[in-house]
Structures are given as structure tokens and as C-alpha cells.
Amino acid sequence: MTKLKLSHISTGFIAVFIGYASAAAIIFQAANSAGGNEAQIASWFWALGIGMGASTILLSWFYKKPIVTAWSTPGAALLITSLDGLTMNQAIAAFLFSSLLITLVGLAGIVEKVLKQIPTAIAAAMLAGILLQFGLGLFEALVEEGQIVLVMLAMFIVARTWLGNLLVPSIFFVALGLCVATGKLDVSEVTLGLTTPTFIAPDFDFFSLVSVGIPLFIVTMASQNLPGFAVLKANGYQVESSKIITTTGLAGLLLAPFGGFAFNLAAITGAICMGPNADENPKTRYMAGISMGVFYLLAGIMGMSFVSIFSAVPAAVVIAIAGLAVMPTLMNCLSVSMTDSHCREPALFTFLFTASGINLLGIGSAFWGVCLGLTCYWLYNYKASMARASDTSSTQ
């Protein structure tokens, strides 16, 4: 039996804090676009918290690896505009359809075949490109909350040797104390209470299924699940991707009627649970995933109350915490992506395209970065094989 450590609990909490504090507002806007009332919007957060918590605990425990799920933030951003003019019931039907497509893809084993074609260096480069934005955000936060962020950065540099795995949680609580001392912790909107789930009957309309369900499926698979599996691969975790995809799809089918619009593998928060801050031993980091799942469940039970608590912290502090939390993983990914000389240039293209943040056809830059990197990788391999064949024939 693996012993639960304080670093597992603190890492799980920090990951959930970053996820909710940075993206909860997008979920709220998406639910509001569908005309959701206060009870229905709270139910969305209940469904998402319960779904992410249950699936994260189940998968991390079963595989003994930090397999973290999340809501689809790009999917939520898509819903803000695409749900305009639709009823909540039609939106729920689209969520069910998207989750059904995800489940079918998982059962068909398509994802497994695709992931085997991605070299570890390219997967690491894509993750580095995603995490770079958070690393840069740390220094951009200096403009808004200079004194607090400067103290956080100084602690990260100076106190690493003393605090070890508890470095980031310690920085978080120091930053929280500074926010209180300077009057920058806004608790005026904080409310406490439990959330009651609200069942919303689906209204299957062909137009909404096609216009919302299919784009939501594509964005979730390309912009969320692909980076999520890249995180696992870059950190040396081999998993049964098809079974994981099926699990997230089934979670969506069960919880879509309550507002669980999409579940997928996590990239950023997943990377936090897979880093050395969670545990020095990669084989026991799954306990950080389980801890995160427990906090997800708590977030679901409390619904909007949990969101209001995290939203009280200044956005710049949230960004700074995220940047510091992903720093070890970012360093590792940059190292791994440049190690293989045969894959160095394709990995560089992947990293740069992903880091650009360009969105094409509604799909994020991580997907297109991998596409460019793989194209270069296959092209270079083809040229190399042709050159070897030419050398062989000339010597005969």
C-alpha cells in the first residue's frame, strides 16, 4: 500500500485550484449562453466536478499512474458562441452526442494507433509549447502584482533546497497571506453551500447535434485528449489510451443531462501531478492524481461555492502559481524534446507552432504543432531512407 504524502495532497489541491481559478469563468459563460438559470449553472459545476473526480480517482488507482481528467476548456470556449440561440435542452442533447462519439472512438481503438505514431520527442515538444505560455505568464504577472509575484519568484529560487516537494504549496500560502495583508483578496462574492444536481431532459435536434455536437467532439479530441496523452508519454507513462478515452466518454454520457458537457485527459493540471513536486518517485505519483480527484469531488459537491472561493484570489497570482508549478515539467520536456538528434528539428517546429497559440478551424495550436512535427519527421526519415538506398546501390 502506497503511503499518502503531504506533497500528494498539496499537489492535488494546487492543480485543482489552478484549473478552477483559471477557467471556471469560461464554463459560467458557456452555461449562461445556453440560457441556464442559477440552479442549472450550479448543476454544470456539480456534474463536472463529480465526473472529473470519479474518473481521475478510478483511472489513477486502477493503472497506478497519475491519470488526470478535466473539462474541455477549448470546448467551453466553443460553446460560448455556438450555443447562442439554442435551448438548454438542445445543448444537453449535443453534449450526449459528442460524448457518444468519444465513447465510440475509444471502443474502436483508433486513438491507440494514432498515438503510436508520435515519437516521445515530439510529444515532449508539444507539451513544452503548451507550458511555455504559463512560464511566460509568470513574468507577465509581475506587471499587475509586482510585489507579491516577486516574493513568489524569490522563494522559488532560494527556498527550493529547503522545502523540496512542498515548495509550490508554501509559495501559494505565502502569496495568499500577502493578498490578505494588502487587501487584495476579494471575498465579497464568496458564498458557501452545497449544490443540488438538476436533471435537464435532452431535446434532440439535428441542427444542434451537427453544429454543436460534432465541433465539440473534434475540439475535445484534438485540443484536449491529444495533449493529455502527450503529457503521459513525455513523462514516461505508457497507458491503454482507448480504455481511458472510453471511460471519459461514458462519464459524459452519464453526466451530460446534469451539465457535464465534456470530459477528457488533462494537460496542464496533469503535468503538475506528474512532476517531481508531487513525488520524487514517478511510480507513486498516482497518489497525487487520487488526491486531485478527491478535491474535484469536493468542488462538485460545493459547486458555485468552490468557484467563488478560488475566484477571490487575484488572477495574476493564479497565473504566477501556475507558472511556478509547471516549471520542473517544462524543463524536463525541453530536455527530452532536444535529446534525439534525428528528431530535433521536427520537435523544434512542434514546440514553436504549439507555443504560438494559433487557432485554426477552431482547433488549438497543439494539434497543428504535432501535425507539422510529424510531417517533418516522416519527410526527413523518408529522405534518409532514400539516401541509404542510393548509397547501397552505388556500392554494388
- For 225-240, write each residue's pLDDT tens digit: 888 888 898 888 988 8
* Pairing label, strands 69-71, 263-265: antiparallel
Task: Please report which confidence band the pLDDT of residue 63 belongs to, taking 50, 70 and 90 as the band edges.
Answer: very high
Question: Taking residues 347-370, what's their average pLDDT?
Answer: 85
Q: pLDDT value at position 388?
A: 65
User: Three-class SS of residue 263?
Assistant: strand
| Placement of cell 465510440 in the chain | 104
93, 204 in Cβ contact below 8 A?
yes
List all residues 6 or more positions away from 36 whose beta carbon is below 8 Å from its beta carbon.
Answer: 44, 88, 259
Q: Which three cell numbers stand for residue 57?
A: 480517482
127, 248 in Cβ contact below 8 A?
no
Q: pLDDT value at position 393?
A: 59
370, 226 in Cβ contact below 8 A?
yes
325, 18 in Cβ contact below 8 A?
yes
User: Three-class SS of residue 362?
Assistant: coil
| CA-wise closest residue to 56 among 65, 45, 46, 69 | 69
Task: Kindly calculate the radius of gyration of the chain based on its CA atoms and give it in whole angstroms.
Answer: 21
Which percentage of the chain shows pLDDT scores above 70? 96
Residue 395 has pLDDT above 60, yes or no: no
Q: Provide DSSP, 169-231.
A: HHHHHHHHHHHHHTT----TT----------------HHHIIIIIHHHHHHIIIIIIHHHHHH
- For 239-284, write each residue's pLDDT tens digit: 888 999 999 999 999 999 999 999 999 988 898 899 888 888 999 9
Q: Which three cell numbers stand for residue 107?
A: 471502443
Task: Please report which confidence band the pLDDT of residue 392 belongs to, taking 50, 70 and 90 as the band edges.
Answer: low
Residue 379 has pLDDT above 80, yes or no: yes
Residue 396 has pLDDT above 60, yes or no: no
More confident residue, 199 or 3: 199
Alpha-carbon span 208 to 202, nearest angstrom: 11
Q: pLDDT value at position 284?
A: 94
Alpha-carbon span 5 to 225, nearest angstrom: 29
| Placement of cell 487520487 in the chain | 290
Residue 370 has pLDDT above 80, yes or no: yes
More confident residue, 286 or 17: 286
Alpha-carbon span 212 to 210, nearest angstrom: 6
Helix (H) or strand (E) holding 265: strand 263-265
Residue 137 has pLDDT above 80, yes or no: yes
Q: pLDDT value at position 1?
A: 65
**Average pLDDT along the chain:** 87
User: Does the predicted TM-score (pTM) go above 0.85?
Assistant: no
- For 117-132, write each residue's pLDDT tens digit: 788 888 888 888 888 8
Alpha-carbon span 165 to 246, nearest angstrom: 33
Alpha-carbon span 396 to 392, nearest angstrom: 7
264 forms beta bridges with 70
Q: pLDDT value at position 151?
A: 92
Residue 161 has pLDDT above 80, yes or no: no
Residue 359 has pLDDT above 90, yes or no: no
Residue 286 has pLDDT above 80, yes or no: yes
71 forms beta bridges with 263
Residue 138 has pLDDT above 70, yes or no: yes
Using alpha carbons only, give the angle 95, 101, 107 rounded to the nearest 5 degrees. Answer: 135
Alpha-carbon span 312 to 205, nearest angstrom: 39
